[in-house]
Chains A and B, each alone.
Chain A
Amino acid sequence: MAEPILKVENLKKYFPIKRGFIDTIKGAPQKKVHAVDGISFEIYKQQVFALVGESGCGKSTTGKLIVKLLEPTDGKIYLEGKDVTYIKTKEEILDYRRHVQMIFQDPFSSMNPRFRIFDILEEPLLIHGIGETKAEREELIYKALEMVKITPPEDYVGRFPHMLSGGQRQRVAIARALILNPTFIVADEPVSMLDVSIRAEILELMKELKEKMGVTYLYITHDMSTARYFADWMAVMYLGRIVEMGPVEKVIDNPLHPYTRALLAAVPEPKPERRNVIKELPIKGEVPNAVDIPPGCRFHPRCIYAQKGLCDAKHPQLVEYEHNHFAECHLVGKY
């Protein structure tokens, strides 16, 4: 198989918690939030890799580590085979960002309200020194806007973000990420704040751009249904770990990990005949904080199948149970 576009190896990110004065004097140990705690995956060309999980599972932190908005605590990130984990200098980061771009969740706050659409799209070109004259840049900007179907572009370049609808704004955000012609895009919940119809529109657009421009995506979401529609691969995260990973159809139709099962059971479906049935959710309690990680399998306090002496004592490994389908659970096939 070809070389992966992006490869992540044992990636970790811990955030230290500020200690109080007394704790510092007493020499209490430094506490840390284990946001991302040793995850590995590979993403191949033109694939969409979905990272799903509840809030606080570390999916957004992973995205930020990959675009280098955060420095990892440990682990490696490779882009097209090149180690980019510890790139530091301005030139290296600039070069990296030409290849890796991000689309943010909130199209309302991710754009400068005092910039016109033209300025918003020109900024990445200026930063990366693309297009020598204004005319050249204008051409690129028009092309990018046409690509995301904001047409005719000359009607829009003079507008401010507040003059656009939510869907149009998210299109401009996509155009801004695409204008540098990146190989890899991290899309962090790009449709979660949009209405149903606009959501479908943006997903269609991103899918089309994948095919036309050969973009590879990391799609971060909490929504299993859009992941099923848009992604090829899926990794389910819980408390900083990938607990299950595989092709989307396999993970959704044949989930191996109890947590994936619970998440899937919780997804609402447009089937009104079940409205009087109280759904069974095979999960208990709430997500613990990521400071005091439970020993053994970190899902065991919430798992209804957890076995004493095994799940609360031994950390499970991510094992390939069927071709390309991985899970991190002691009890796969036994519950």
Chain B
Amino acid sequence: MVKNVLEVKDLKMYYFTNKGVVKAVDNITFNLKKGEVLGLAGESGCGKSSLGFTLMGMPTPPGKIVSGSIKIDGREIVGLPEDVLRKEVRWQKISMIFQGAMNALNPVYTVGYQMTEPLMLHKGMSKEEAIDRAQKYLELVGLDPEIVYRYPHELSGGMKQRVIIATALLLEPDVVIADEPTTALDVVVQAQIINLLKKLKKELGLSMIFITHDLSILAEISDRVAIMYAGKIVEIGDSEKIYYEPAHPYTQKLLSAIPRLHEDIERLEFIPGQPPNLINPPKGCRFNPRCPYVMQVCKEQEPELKEVDKDHYAACWLL
């Protein structure tokens, strides 16, 4: 049995705004096994990025973890004081590859400066050791080690994204969260970055949570997929199950909205309406106002995640 590197249970993270409480992450439970890639998908505003930042122990203000537990390699991190989180957890145990390679690097420092800072602070390395380590990781992601002496503006978008990936791996974390790592990139570069992540998964046994709204990219890399809607996981299971035997109407609709490269599709389906406001989510199942199969019970009671098949869960009254 492969052990879980990440166990999330009943996690709630709400944004306390002036207009009301936004329930962005609402009762999320899932596990991540060692060496596994879990894909997290959903429309904008479904809480997938909020969940990513919460797992890093840094919900964006005014967000706060309300309750629940996040265990990384067996250690509970909810409730740890900020300085412990910073010194012992963030980047060492769990790290993040940010969206928007263009903006994640500081333009006034060299790549080397930005990469070595965490090594010197966290590991107490000397500058030479740190540069050595940074160069080793740059090579691992397919870059020329000499890049440590360059500034971000001298690099292309794909190279910057590789630098960000190398930085996330520097301290050998147990879990890496990749938040839309390929969104701003061209198709060819995007495919190269996905290839790189696949290679790292194989060589380093990387455990990763891959967040994106693009189900096609997600299929390229994920072993398991979780579909989020309005702050909740509505379906989770092995990729093949999710893509070929989706159980939740939302997953089914999302999949039939994707244009395919090698198939002639007469009509694309789409989901009418918009995702709900998370200050006042609809009663019962949150998808009920947009669901084509809505029943009376859907409007009254919230469905729980049910096992539809081995390791395949969905939250829907139809099942």
Nearest A residue to B202, CB-CB: A276
User: Beyond A196-B258, A225-B258, A270-B258, is A204–B270 a contact (Cβ under 8 Å)?
Assistant: yes
Which A residues are CB-close (under 8 A) to B199?
278
Q: Give Cα distance in the complex from A264 to B187, angstroms.
A: 9
Evaluate contact between A197 and B43: CB separation under 8 angstroms. yes
Residues of A within 8 A of B261 (CB): 224-225, 228, 252, 264, 267, 269
Contacts of A272 in B (CB 8 A): 219, 222, 225, 239-240, 242-243
B21 at the interface (CB under 8 A from A): no
Inter-subunit contact B186/A281 (CB<8 Å): no
- Interface residue count on the A side (C-beta < 8 Å): 46
Judge whether B191 and A229 touch: CB under 8 Å.
no
The residues in A between 125 and 162 inclusive whose CB is less than 8 angstroms from any CB of B are none
**Which 4 A-B residue pairings sit nearest by Cβ, starting from the closest?**
A272-B239, A266-B191, A229-B259, A200-B257
A57 to chain B, nearest CB (A): 9
User: B220, A268: Cβ atoms under 8 Å?
Assistant: yes
| Contact A252 B268, beta carbon cutoff 8 Å | no
The reply to whether A275 and B257 contact each other, CB–CB distance below 8 Å, is: no
Task: Give the residues in chain A near B218, CB-CB below 8 Å.
Answer: 270
- Beyond A198-B270, A229-B268, A264-B261, 9 additional contacts (C-beta under 8 Å) are A196-B258, A197-B43, A201-B272, A249-B264, A265-B191, A272-B243, A275-B198, A279-B194, A286-B189
Q: B31 at the A/B interface (Cβ < 8 Å)?
A: no
Contact partners of B198 in chain A: CB under 8 A = 275-276, 278
Query: Can you pick out 24 interface pairs between chain A and chain B where the beta carbons lie within 8 Å of each other?
Result: A166-B44, A200-B257, A200-B269, A201-B272, A203-B268, A222-B186, A225-B258, A225-B259, A229-B268, A252-B261, A252-B262, A265-B191, A268-B217, A268-B219, A270-B215, A270-B260, A271-B243, A272-B219, A272-B240, A275-B223, A275-B239, A279-B194, A286-B189, A287-B186
Whether the Cβ atoms of B268 and A270 lie closer than 8 Å is no
Rounded to whole angstroms, the CA-CA distance of A276 and B213 in the bound complex is: 21
Instruction: Tell me how far the C-beta of A9 lies from the nearest C-beta in chain B, rounded to whole angstroms.
Output: 29
Interface centre among A263, A267, A268 (most CB of B within 10 A): A268
A74 CB, min distance to chain B CBs, angstroms: 28
Q: Contacting A165 at CB < 8 Å: which of B220, B239, B240, B274?
A: B274
Q: Which residues of B contact A267 (CB under 8 A)?
A: 187, 191, 216, 261
Q: Say whether A85 faces chain B, with CB atoms less than 8 Å apart.
A: no
The answer to whether A268 touches B190, judged by C-beta atoms less than 8 angstroms apart, is yes
B102 to chain A, nearest CB (A): 12
Contact A268:B214 (CB < 8 A) given known A222-B187, A225-B261, A286-B158: yes
Q: Are B191 and A197 in contact (CB under 8 A)?
A: no
* A316 CA to B64 CA, complexed, in Å: 61
Q: Is the interface of A mostly helix, strand, loop or mixed?
A: helix
Binary per-residue interface labels of chain B (198-214) against chain A in the complex, 1 for a CB within 8 Å, 0 otherwise = 11001000000000011
The answer to whether B310 has its CB under 8 Å from any CB of chain A is no
Contact of B190 (CB < 8 Å), options: A166, A264, A266, A287: A266
Chain B 249-291 against A: per-residue CB contact (8 Å), 1 yes, 0 no?
A: 0000111011111101101111110100000000000000000
Query: Which residues on B sit within 8 Å (CB–CB) of A196?
Result: 43, 213-215, 254, 257-258
Q: Which residues of B contact A99 (CB under 8 A)?
A: none
Q: A198 vs B257: C-alpha distance in the bound complex, in angstroms?
A: 9
Q: Chain B's nearest CB lies how many Å from the CB of A238?
A: 11
Is A200 within 8 A of B270, CB to CB? Answer: yes
Assuming the contacts A197-B43, A283-B188, asked whether A275 and B221 have C-beta atoms less than 8 A apart, the reply is: yes
Our pick among B195, B220, B240, B257 for the contact of A281 (Cβ within 8 Å) is: B195
Report the Cα distance A154→B37, complex, angstroms.
48
* Chain A residues within an 8 Å CB radius of B262: 228, 252-253, 269
A197 to B258, CA, bound (A): 8
Q: In the complex the two chains form, is A200's CB within 8 Å of B188's CB?
A: no
Cα-based distance from A223 to B186 in the complex (angstroms): 10
- The yes or no answer to B106 lying at the interface (CB within 8 A) is no
- With CB as the reference atom, state the residue of chain A lying closest to B158: A286
Residues of B within 8 A of A200 (CB): 257-259, 268-270
Contact A275 B187 (CB under 8 A): no
Q: Does A197 contact B260, Cβ atoms closer than 8 Å?
A: no
How distant is A200 from chain B, measured CB to nearest CB, in Å? Answer: 4
